[in-house]
Amino acid sequence: MIQENLRNVAIIAHVDHGKTTLVDALLKQSGVYRENQEVVERVMDSNDQERERGITIMAKNTAVTYGGTKINIVDTPGHADFGGEVERVLKMVNGVILLVDAAEGPMPQTRFVLSRALELGHRVIVVVNKIDRPDQRVYEVIDEVLELLIDLNATDDQLDSPMLFCSARAGICGYNPEDINDDLTPLFQTILDYIPAPEVDTEGPFQMLVSSIDYNEFVGRIAVGRIERGTLRQNQEIVVCNYHAPGQVSKRTKATAVYAFDGLARVPVTEITAGNIVALSGTGDITIGDTICAPDCVEPLEFVKISAPTMEMTFSVNDSPFAGREGKFVTSRQIRERLFKETMKDVSLRVTELENSTDAFNVAGRGEMHLSILIETMRREGYEFQVSPPRVLYKTIDGVKCEPMERLVVDVPSDCSGAVIEKMGSRKGDFLDMTPVGDSRVKMTFLIPSRGLFGYRNEFLTDTKGEGIMASVFDSYAPFRGELNRRNVGALIASETGESITYGLFNAQQRGVLFIGAGVPVYEGMVIGQTPKREDVTINACKRKQLTNTRASGSDDALRLIPPKQMSLEQCLEFLDDDELLEVTPLTLRIRKRILNLEQRMKAIHRNK
Ligand SMILES: Nc1nc2c(ncn2[C@@H]2O[C@H](COP(=O)(O)OP(=O)(O)OP(=O)(O)O)[C@@H](O)[C@H]2O)c(=O)[nH]1
Ligand SMILES: [Mg+2]
């Protein structure tokens, strides 16, 4: 049977190309909002960190009705670190909308998400967005998209994909850049005409693949996915086949509540047929990739291939001198439970226990941002722990040590290109190609070890006077390219435990840039700033001025401190060197030497020499 009045589509693109903004416009123009209803911008970016950072982190579902047809829409993240989110939802849909920024053109993540959609044989609607940008170059971008499709071995059918032109922000689009409608009718119409309606068997035994997990404190875990076959009724008996333990006896349970998506809400339904995207509770401990079946026909479905993590960090119990002062959850058992819980809903995260330690866990993900979001989420929940610097995951291929390489695309003012090429060289990157963008900019592609990109973003912004755009995505594993310095500055290290004092810091700031001001508790071995050269300097931040007969120590107030450099979580992670750790508590981030005591540290240095 063909579900004529149903379409399931995902919106995919590189970061910031306007996916969530387009969903806003689709919701508005399909009449989801009442008149006078207050409308939030980028409404799908509903969790705290998404709103703060202005990016989508998790893929989410919504649905609109247009001309009597229900369109389930999945909004996906465009940042390369969350590529796993895109991979997992592609099985839920029957086609995709590929957005491309009219000025930036296809970027690394455009290539990644498009290749995944093509592999699954999905139909693609190409939408060139932000045509209102003064620096738009629509006609060049059209060619770039076609080149990309050819490069990815698209079939003739896929090469004939419809192409539309749109301003998501203005809510307008058209079939031709010179002829734009004053609403999104052409896009709605193209979805109805070009994305296939699900063709399904509604009579057979019920079967569904779980593509998302949600949580609600009243009903617990909620499984989301597209019904593959059959019909689901409320309170129907179901069986869950565990994706992680194939062959294991499956758990029998009941679908206590079944919901369909409707605008920003979920509405309870008593019965729903194959082809539809549903949310259901009552499944207990379920994970993404599980299959839910009717008890009389237990057949697990195949899940999509999720790309493997390329880097990891060690999370461990905080053992600094200040441990346990600020966190609510500090034990290894609590940290362990929290990390494993995360793997149930994040398909690209891997957590493993260390062989000879019960207090430490290796957490592997797709990039620094992927792991820093997890760290930030945990600290907001009250967890305290420490993390190692991120390191890439090596692989031995045919007996050769290989490392992950990234495809890096930069779009920079032409006169900055030399500086960027030089830096790429020193970070062991290979230059692939360069094309002009308009009159004054160039787009360059490099293949560079993931290691070579650690800490590069800030340098890049300086080298391009803040006008450069850079984006990278994992490309492949290639033979190890040799040692690279992790950073080219040193650490200013506190030599005493106590409270930082203006006098001591005044001396310290002559040696480098401080991360703390006066009145901050410090301990021996804590990193309180950076030095300009690759050389660590130990300094007493708690030092008081000697009292003399004529002047009291209070005259410290006359010394002026330069405001400290406030280090964000990401900056701390970029800064960390191999012999350092980051202490994370709900209130504070402290960088410290792994070995706190100066004497022991010197011994360790000698040993390594
Ligand atoms: N000029 C212009 N700006 C737009 C348009 N559509 C979106 N933007 C802006 O582009 C920025 C990113 O928009 P989002 O909708 O968050 O982009 P996204 O693709 O969802 O980003 P991620 O989910 O993080 O990958 C926002 O500042 C939007 O206001 C458009 O049509 N024209
Ligand atoms: Mg978004």
Residue 286 has pLDDT above 90, yes or no: no
Residue 552 has pLDDT above 80, yes or no: no
CA separation for the pair 266, 472 (Å, rounded): 36
Query: Which atom of ligand 1 sits closest to the CA of residue 129?
Result: 31
Confidence of residue 317 (pLDDT cuts 50, 70, 90): very high
pLDDT at 347: 87
Query: Which atom of ligand 1 sits closest to the CA of residue 109?
Result: 25
* Residue 104 CB less than 6 A away from ligand 1: no
CA separation for the pair 513, 461 (Å, rounded): 19
Report the alpha-carbon angle 574-577-578, nearest 5.
Answer: 130
Query: Which atom of ligand 1 sits closest to the CA of residue 23?
Result: 15
* Residue 378 CB less than 6 A away from ligand 1: no
* Residue 496 CB less than 6 A away from ligand 1: no
pLDDT at 285: 80
- Which tens digits make up the pLDDT trace of 381-406? 999 999 999 999 999 999 999 999 99
Confidence of residue 608 (pLDDT cuts 50, 70, 90): low
The residue among 225, 236, 238 whose CA lies nearest residue 299 is: 238
- Which tens digits make up the pLDDT trace of 360-387? 999 999 999 999 999 999 999 999 999 9
**Ligand 2 centroid to residue 480 C-alpha, Å:** 35
The residue assigned the tokens 């690209």 is 348
pLDDT at 609: 58
Residue 521 has pLDDT above 70, yes or no: yes
Residues in CB range of 171: below 8 A, 6 or more apart: 25, 28, 29, 183, 184
CA separation for the pair 487, 490 (Å, rounded): 8
pLDDT at 545: 79
The residue assigned the tokens 């787009």 is 443
**Under 8 Å between Cβ of 29 and 299:** no
* Residue 15 CB less than 6 A away from ligand 1: yes
The residue assigned the tokens 């979001």 is 373
CA separation for the pair 424, 472 (Å, rounded): 13
3-class SS shares of the chain: helix, strand, coil, % to 5: 25, 35, 40
Structure tokens at 458: 């800030």
pLDDT at 550: 56
pLDDT at 556: 52
Give the ligand whose atoms come closest to the C-alpha of residue 172: 1
Give the ligand whose atoms come closest to the C-alpha of residue 44: 2
Mean pLDDT value of segment 49-76: 95
Residues in CB range of 510: below 8 A, 6 or more apart: none
DSSP single-letter state for residue 506:
H
The residue among 300, 368, 377 whose CA lies nearest residue 52 is: 377
Q: Which residue's alpha carbon is nearest to atom 8 within ligand 1? A: 18
Residue 342 Cα distances to 179, 348, 418, angstroms: 47, 10, 43
Is 537 or 560 the better-scoring residue by pLDDT? 537
**Ligand 2 centroid to residue 115 C-alpha, Å:** 19
Which of 16, 24, 57, 138 gets mutated to test ligand 1 (max ligand atoms within 8 A of its CB)?
16
CA separation for the pair 292, 223 (Å, rounded): 9
**Which residues share a beta bridge with 405?**
449, 476
Structure tokens at 368: 């620094």
- Which tens digits make up the pLDDT trace of 408-448? 999 999 999 999 999 999 999 999 999 998 888 999 999 99
Residue 554 has pLDDT above 60, yes or no: no
- Which tens digits make up the pLDDT trace of 223-250? 999 999 999 999 999 999 887 777 776 7
Q: What is the helix (H) or strand (E) element at residue 101, kind and residue range?
A: strand 95-101
The residue among 423, 398, 535 whose CA lies nearest residue 484 is: 423
pLDDT at 358: 84
- Coil vs helix vs strand at 349: coil
Structure tokens at 56: 């989508």
- Which tens digits make up the pLDDT trace of 162-183? 999 999 999 999 999 999 999 9
* Residue 391 CB less than 6 A away from ligand 1: no
**Ligand 2 centroid to residue 155 C-alpha, Å:** 28
Torsion, Cα 399 400 401 404, to 10 degrees, reads: -120
**Under 8 Å between Cβ of 535 and 491:** no
Is 553 or 438 the better-scoring residue by pLDDT? 438
Residue 86 has pLDDT above 90, yes or no: yes
- Helices of type H across 95-184: 108-119, 138-151, 156-159
pLDDT at 34: 85
Task: Measure CA 278 to chain center.
Answer: 25
Structure tokens at 302: 């195949």
- 480 φψ region: left (φ > 0), alpha (ψ -120 to 50), beta (else): beta
Mean pLDDT value of segment 194-217: 92
Dihedral sign, Cα of residue 12, residue 16, residue 22, residue 24? positive
**Which residues share a beta bridge with 514?**
529
